[in-house]
Structure 1
Amino acid sequence: MSSSDAKHALRKLEFPFRAREALSRIEQLCTVHTGSHSHNSRQAELANDLITEFVFCEIDRRGSKRRKLTCIQELQLLEVLCDYLSYPGGNEAGRNAVFMFLFPGSHPNRSRLLVKLVSMAISTNNSPVLMATAILMQQLSCTSKFSLQLANGLVNDYFVLVPKSVDRLKELSKIAPLFTANFLTAVTEMYGCCYIDKNEGLEWKGPPVSLLEVITEWVSEQPNLCITALLVDLQPALPSGGIPMPAVTPYAGLFKWTVLSALYETDEKVCRLYEQLHLALLESLIDCIPSVSKRPEHIISAQHLAAIVPSILDTNYLKSDEQFHNAIDRLGQAVQLSLHTKSVYGNKQELLKQLEMLPINRLMNMVLNAHREAI
């Protein structure tokens, strides 16, 4: 069927039925390859045309902008997307290809809808939608602007605006482990130390306590959660010719939280949570090694660990000796266990050089002495 015929047939249908039919046609375009680059480019262009006009209704048949979907229409579209992605059988790679066309990361309004879609999927335990989202986050990078916007939207939905809904998330790590792991990697970028005013140095921005509680529970109960992205083979779920992007674990980001929290947090309950999370991360590193025994060194980036050092140094003059040495002790524990379990990849020599910039600390000196010659 030609492009004009496909559009003419879809225009005879009413919303949201035409959105569902359009998704099927888009999947056909995504799964049929001729080997001709120009032909595949035309297919991709038609797929985007169908999405713009018939799925999100962003333009009319003349190409003019249309009004935004009403709240009811948005809900209908979200239900269509959930049903489409979770329909039994079918071509998973084709559906994931469609999902990537739907949410390329360059449409603010679609990003807003994606947050609603994922929230709906979480509330209904729709693992196929969460899996498709996890793959998209990993392909675009879990630390990309797109993934951070998604993570921020979910944090607002579940931990800020409606904190009573947090209980729904406690089982998320079992229902959708890859999504949870990639969400963790994204959310660690949202909190920690940041410069509010260049003249006043770093300021601590900790995660909501309810989020910290859930994350601590996830990591404590599922030691392998943080390495999920390393264990899942994305190749079968990607379109033909798709290349899985390198996975990034949340270890360094979570260690950053636990280390820097020792410099800032004073609330006893919050301090205990960070202590529990720190211990859970250390135990997780030990427990997960058998699962990735072939390539354990790809778990934590040396660069990401080293990036914690400047944040400690920039706050030195503001903190007590006890706070300061507690932070260095935690970093020393993280580095020692990471190196001992051969979990670190990247420039380890540069990591040690950064650690040597820290003031004298007994535990850190032991770590440096133990690994200086071995690296």
Structure 2
Amino acid sequence: MVIITLVFCQVPMGDIRQSLLPRDVLSAAKELLYHLDIYICNLVQSGRQPPQVDAKTLELVEEFILHAPKDRNTPGRRMSALQELQLLEIMCSCFQEQSRDTVRQLMFSALFSLQGNQADESRMALLGKLVSMAVAVGRNPILECAATWLQRTHRVYCVRLAQVLVDDYCSMVPGSVPTLQNIHGASPRFCCQFITAVTTLYDLTSEELTPPLELLQMIVSWIQDDPRLVLITFLNTPLSGSQPISSLDITPLGGLMRWCVKAPLAYRREKKQALTNGSAENEQEAGPLLSALHLSVLQVFMLLPNILNEKGLFGRLALLQLESLAALTSDLSRLLDQADKHTHTSSADTQALSQLTLDRLAQALQVAMANGALLCSREDLRAICSRLPHNNLLQLVLSGPVMYYNNIHTPPLAFSPHAAHSPIASHPTHPAHTPHTPLATHPSSHPQYPGQPFITGMPFPFRPSH
């Protein structure tokens, strides 16, 4: 192997291309993968920091694996469906047999990092098929590499990959959901990033962007089994270096909170379509699932104080961004207006759903603030919620004491997903405040929520209403 490595490193890239041209399309791709593995192993062994694949190698990948034409006058070569399947199997074996994670990550990056050119569509198509196969046959190294890809890539492409997996395992092949569900045990990092991507994709703005029931069931079961799952990316992200604003959020908490809060109105909005499509049962089943998810999200918030304190981040890093919260309340305002005009439900039902939505928002805001996931002033919160109709629980949160932290004047950390837009950055001169007092108990006019103080560190005392 050492001799082969040395020989390869001395061969000019142009000569390698000449040796690949006479081969058939599958043989050329297989040979290039072999050489790419050797090249990257040598690159890592050289100790060069950071190790970076050169442009000529990336051009070979585009030409012989992604089949992008070398120039306009040269037609691109195409694989048959069988040849493509064989290539995917070869790639699965290649990543599985390579024991060094650094080499695997560099190879994955060389194959699938987006370059902003015409080959990107071929990259995305091949990536979706490779990750889908890795899920099916349990190739954990590929899932680990895909988790890193999801963390570093623009969210537009991340949701495209998530859509491929949802289509493959929740829509096209009945009964295949358990296969996708197994990624929880195979690669928790990928599972966390997948949840973040699908909550970004399905924003409940239309029927098409409402999560399928099978997907919802799967995510609820994952988080119920392991609430810390949604924090894995955050827990494993180095504190140096900033997270690009265009990337996925560092946790799926914001997206999950959006699902829980918007769901009562969003699913009711689709009732007419559900009845037309004969899927009214799905709407009914989604209610308890989303109630369970809401409870799970609140319980994840309750885990944060210890985690943030251990990292020295309590009061310094907001896992829920103020901009996302503003977008959520804007969507809620529109949905509530639509609900008032809804002709398929009684006014009493509509009012109950509206109050459930606002109750969930209030609960999420209070628990998030109390546990350090949301950092903002009371004035900010009032401004964001100003367009929402009156709700007793929400009014209590907006008017009650807001939690401040002794180090709230500390600037946000560089790796904060949106540090420049952080609510802390918007208010850098806040003085330190004395410790907060517990929020007043819920008024007796809401018997479904017994009077309970929201106090950080106490077990969550009730289940959200269904």
TM-score range, shorter chain: 0.7 to 0.9
Establish whether residue 220 from structure 1 lines up as the match of residue 254 from structure 2: no
Shift of 1:339: 0.5
Structure 2: gaps of 5 or more residues: 1-9, 269-282, 340-349, 406-466
Aligned equivalents of 1:81 and 1:325: distance in 2? 52
Residues 176 and 352 (structure 1), Cα distance of their counterparts in 2 relative to 1, 3 Å cut: farther
Report the residue type matching 2:102 in the other structure.
Answer: A
Establish whether residue 232 from structure 1 lines up as the match of residue 243 from structure 2: no
Check conservation: 1:303, 1:346, Cα contact below 8 A.
no
Q: 1:101 aligns with which of 102, 105, 110?
A: 110
Q: 1:273 aligns with which of 283, 289, 292?
A: 289
Aligned equivalents of 1:89 and 1:17: distance in 2? 19
Aligned equivalents of 2:48 and 2:186: distance in 1? 37
Establish whether residue 262 from structure 1 lines up as the match of residue 278 from structure 2: no
Structure 1: gaps of 5 or more residues: 197-202, 236-241
The TM-score, its normalising length taken from structure 1, stands at 0.84
Check conservation: 1:58, 1:66, Cα contact below 8 A.
yes
Establish whether residue 145 from structure 1 lines up as the match of residue 149 from structure 2: no
Q: 1:69 aligns with which of 63, 79, 91?
A: 79
Report the residue type matching 1:356 in the other structure.
Answer: S
Shift of 1:323: 1.3
Query: Aligned Cα RMSD in Å?
Result: 3.0
Partner of 1:206: 210
Check conservation: 2:135, 2:179, Cα contact below 8 A.
yes
Partner of 2:444: none
Report the residue type matching 2:254 in the other structure.
Answer: A
Partner of 1:82: 92
Shift of 1:344: 2.0
SS of the equivalent of 2:201 reads coil
Report the residue type matching 2:232 in the other structure.
Answer: T
Check conservation: 1:258, 1:277, Cα contact below 8 A.
yes
Check conservation: 2:378, 2:398, Cα contact below 8 A.
no
Q: 2:363 aligns with which of 329, 333, 338?
A: 333
Partner of 1:125: 138
Shift of 1:62: 11
264-273 or 173-182, larger mean C-alpha shift? 264-273
Check conservation: 1:16, 1:80, Cα contact below 8 A.
no
Q: 2:148 aligns with which of 135, 140, 153?
A: 135
Establish whether residue 323 from structure 1 lines up as the match of residue 353 from structure 2: yes
Deviations 1:47-104 (A, max 9, x none): 11221233334347998232321112211221222122222423x2232122122112
1:120-199 counterparts in 2 under 5 A? Answer: 120-141=133-154, 144-194=155-205
Partner of 2:252: 250
Shift of 1:233: 4.3
Q: 1:366 aligns with which of 396, 404, 417?
A: 396
Report the residue type matching 1:228 in the other structure.
Answer: I
Check conservation: 2:304, 2:373, Cα contact below 8 A.
no
Partner of 1:308: 328
Shift of 1:367: 1.2
Residues 24 and 317 (structure 1), Cα distance of their counterparts in 2 relative to 1, 3 Å cut: closer
Residues 265 and 193 (structure 1), Cα distance of their counterparts in 2 relative to 1, 3 Å cut: closer
The TM-score, its normalising length taken from structure 2, stands at 0.69
Aligned equivalents of 2:140 and 2:376: distance in 1? 34
Aligned equivalents of 2:238 and 2:353: distance in 1? 42
215-224 or 15-24, larger mean C-alpha shift? 15-24
Report the residue type matching 2:330 in the other structure.
Answer: P
SS of the equivalent of 2:179 reads helix
Which structure has greater helix proportion? Answer: 1
Residues 225 and 289 (structure 1), Cα distance of their counterparts in 2 relative to 1, 3 Å cut: farther
Partner of 2:65: 55
Check conservation: 2:69, 2:75, Cα contact below 8 A.
yes
Residues 51 and 59 (structure 1), Cα distance of their counterparts in 2 relative to 1, 3 Å cut: same
Aligned equivalents of 1:149 and 1:373: distance in 2? 38
Aligned equivalents of 1:158 and 1:244: distance in 2? 34
158-167 or 266-275, larger mean C-alpha shift? 266-275
Shift of 1:210: 0.5
Deviations 1:15-47 (A, max 9, x none): 453133232245257545768x9xx99x62111
Aligned equivalents of 1:204 and 1:366: distance in 2? 35
Residues 263 and 17 (structure 1), Cα distance of their counterparts in 2 relative to 1, 3 Å cut: closer
Partner of 1:284: 300
Shift of 1:209: 0.5
Shift of 1:181: 1.0
Check conservation: 2:321, 2:374, Cα contact below 8 A.
yes
SS of the equivalent of 2:400 reads helix
Report the residue type matching 1:67 in the other structure.
Answer: R
Aligned equivalents of 1:81 and 1:346: distance in 2? 47
Higher alpha-carbon Rg: 2
Shift of 1:369: 2.2
Check conservation: 1:316, 1:324, Cα contact below 8 A.
yes
Shift of 1:193: 3.7
77-86 or 283-292, larger mean C-alpha shift? 283-292
Establish whether residue 7 from structure 1 lines up as the match of residue 9 from structure 2: no
